[in-house]
Amino acid sequence: MAQASSSSWSASHDPTWSSAFAASGLIWPLFLLVAIFNVALPKGGIMVYGLPVTWGYMLIALVGALASISVIRRRDLQIAPIVQTFGLFLPLAVIVYYKAVQYNLSAAGWIPFAVIFGLFPILILAAIGPQLERIRTVDIARAIRPMVRFAVAWGLMNFVLFLLTREIIEIPYVTVNIGDVGEILSKNNLRSGGLMKLVSTYNNGNVFGACMVMLMPLYLYFEHRKIWRALFIVALILTLSRTAWFSMSAAFIMMALAGQIRLNRTGVWVSVAAAVCVLLVLLPLMGWSSANLIDDRLGGRLVYLQDLKISFFGAERIVIPEVVYFGLLQSFGLFGFVLSLCALGFGAAFGIGHWQQLGRLRQAAVVGVLSYLAVCAMDGAMLYPPVFPIFLFLNALIYRRGYVPAADRSTDIAQRFGKRAPGLTPVHLR
């Protein structure tokens, strides 16, 4: 597996769970729960009026509400996420609501878009984001790393199990929404040659691929065990998704440009060669040749471009298919398309503009956001849990200035609002 730079974490630096709670208080177990049900078990949940509602989304709402109270009480505001939330994402949500009223759209035709463009940015960027400064970087690693490991291990287990038995393990309400039990194999997850896409607990190979590609720079920064790095890459290859393969390659290139992967190490090229060998073994099993890697029809998605009708304010219906940019242009028109590009790219632009001031964690988050923007050109799976919350979480990490101990937060806040708070220690950023 490609080796991350020497600044990645080592096991000897991991604190105990109790020290994480002592350092961050209640925000730590709440963040851990959000990570469990949005990274490890993102699909568990119920159906409400025909719409899937996941435990992860419920936890985001709960934690976001509690975080909002903290932000209001402490006046702990940051300009950049506020601009991205209220100046860019929220106008998109207003457009969605306007179309819903004007064209009498069904609930399923507008509520999911209002949630991802309106509610989630407020909860994650404006409310939960500032709370990340109360969690040490190593504790963020302690929450994210085992969840990704679980998703990888569960996916590999079910992939092998399907090869042997033609069955997979599903746990209703936990690894699969109760409304989707028994339907995973029918959701475009089968390939020729008797293979199934590696879907893990995401229940879709493309969704798993999009999320893991986003998290790849962050995970490889946190992960110190070579075997888990290797299994992570193998899991992405076994999604049998060209979107995952090409976006993983794009993320790899960006990580190299960012200095997270050192190309002068022999292990990097051995890992790349091993990945290519695995791919070459899979292609004939799928009945593919190297020509199938480049599909001039974009896997049937070219029809979106052929049917694209450009207007200033967009179509009556809101539809965002696999190729996210086509959907944004068709649904929101030229005005909404430019607005949505600014909303999606604002965090990455902020990070690039402040690159020299960012630590390795925030730089990895920038690369993760850019990786998803690349995924959106092929299959962004924007509406499927937990894609967009993970994207917003990475944006929130870009704005995280460091770890601020609870005893020092009043000093930091007072300084930002022009007040003095004598007798307290300076802000500690870790």
What pLDDT, on a 0 to 100 scale, did the predictor assign at position 233? 92
Q: Which of 314-328, 348-362, 382-396 has the lowest mean pLDDT?
A: 314-328
In the predicted model, what is the mean pLDDT of residues 46-61? 90
Quickly tell me which residue has 């179509």 as its tokens. Answer: 315
In the predicted model, what is the mean pLDDT of residues 373-388? 93
Q: Which of 22-31, 229-238, 405-414 has the lowest mean pLDDT?
A: 405-414
- Please check the confidence at residue 336 and state whether its pLDDT lies above 70: yes
Amino acid identity at 89: F
What pLDDT, on a 0 to 100 scale, did the predictor assign at position 401? 86
In the predicted model, what is the mean pLDDT of residues 153-159? 95
- Please check the confidence at residue 363 and state whether its pLDDT lies above 50: yes
- Please check the confidence at residue 238 and state whether its pLDDT lies above 50: yes
Model confidence over 157-197: pLDDT tens digits?
999 999 899 999 999 999 999 988 888 887 778 776 678 89
| C-alpha distances out from residue 282 to 152, 190, 377, 417, Å | 18, 14, 24, 58
Please tell me whether the peptide bond between 386 and the residue prior to it is cis, using omega within 30 degrees of 0: yes
What pLDDT, on a 0 to 100 scale, did the predictor assign at position 207? 94
In the predicted model, what is the mean pLDDT of residues 305-312? 72
429 pLDDT tier (thresholds 50, 70, 90): very low
What pLDDT, on a 0 to 100 scale, did the predictor assign at position 99? 94
- Please check the confidence at residue 10 and state whether its pLDDT lies above 60: no
What pLDDT, on a 0 to 100 scale, did the predictor assign at position 301? 59
Task: Please provide the average confidence, as pLDDT, over all residues in the chain.
Answer: 84
In the predicted model, what is the mean pLDDT of residues 3-32? 64
Sign of torsion over alpha carbons 35, 38, 44, 48: positive
In the predicted model, what is the mean pLDDT of residues 417-427? 35
Q: Which of 93-102, 240-249, 342-351 has the lowest mean pLDDT?
A: 240-249
Amino acid identity at 217: P
In the predicted model, what is the mean pLDDT of residues 258-265? 80
What pLDDT, on a 0 to 100 scale, did the predictor assign at position 375? 94
- Please check the confidence at residue 26 and state whether its pLDDT lies above 90: no
What pLDDT, on a 0 to 100 scale, did the predictor assign at position 410? 47
320, 112 in Cβ contact below 8 A?
Answer: no
Helix (H) and strand (E) counts in the chain: 18, 4
Considering 73-82, 150-159, 181-190, the range whose residues carry the highest mean pLDDT is 150-159
Pairing mode, if any, of strands 45-48 and 190-191? Answer: unpaired
263, 4 in Cβ contact below 8 A?
Answer: no
Can you read off the two tokens belonging to residue 272? 């790349």
Nearest to 283 by CA among 195, 168, 205: 195
More confident residue, 152 or 420: 152
What is the DSSP code string of 263-329? TT-HHHHHHHHHHHHHHHHHHHHTT--GGGGS-TTGGGTHHHHHT----SS--SS----SSHHHHHH
What pLDDT, on a 0 to 100 scale, did the predictor assign at position 188? 75
Can you read off the two tokens belonging to residue 8? 């990645």
Q: Which of 8-12, 15-19, 215-219 has the lowest mean pLDDT?
A: 8-12
Instruction: Give the C-alpha separation, 322 to 95, whole Å.
Output: 21
Instruction: Give the C-alpha separation, 182 to 170, whole Å.
Output: 8
Where is 340: in which H helix or E strand? helix 324-353
- Please check the confidence at residue 270 and state whether its pLDDT lies above 50: yes
Phi, psi of 51 (to 5 degrees): -110, 135
278 pLDDT tier (thresholds 50, 70, 90): confident
144, 36 in Cβ contact below 8 A?
Answer: no
What pLDDT, on a 0 to 100 scale, did the predictor assign at position 297? 57
Look at residue 45 and give its three-state secondary structure: strand
287 pLDDT tier (thresholds 50, 70, 90): low
Instruction: Give the C-alpha separation, 412 to 218, whole Å.
Output: 27
Domain boundaries, the chain: 18-416
What pLDDT, on a 0 to 100 scale, did the predictor assign at position 417? 39
- Please check the confidence at residue 313 and state whether its pLDDT lies above 90: no
* C-beta neighbour count of 86 within 10 angstroms: 14
Helix, strand, coil percent values for the chain (each to nearest 5): 65, 5, 30
In the predicted model, what is the mean pLDDT of residues 114-138? 94
Paired residues of 46 in beta bridges: 53
In the predicted model, what is the mean pLDDT of residues 383-387? 94
More confident residue, 412 or 80: 80
Side-chain half-sphere exposure of 228, counting CA atoms within 13 A? 19
In the predicted model, what is the mean pLDDT of residues 249-255? 92
What pLDDT, on a 0 to 100 scale, did the predictor assign at position 411? 46
416 pLDDT tier (thresholds 50, 70, 90): very low
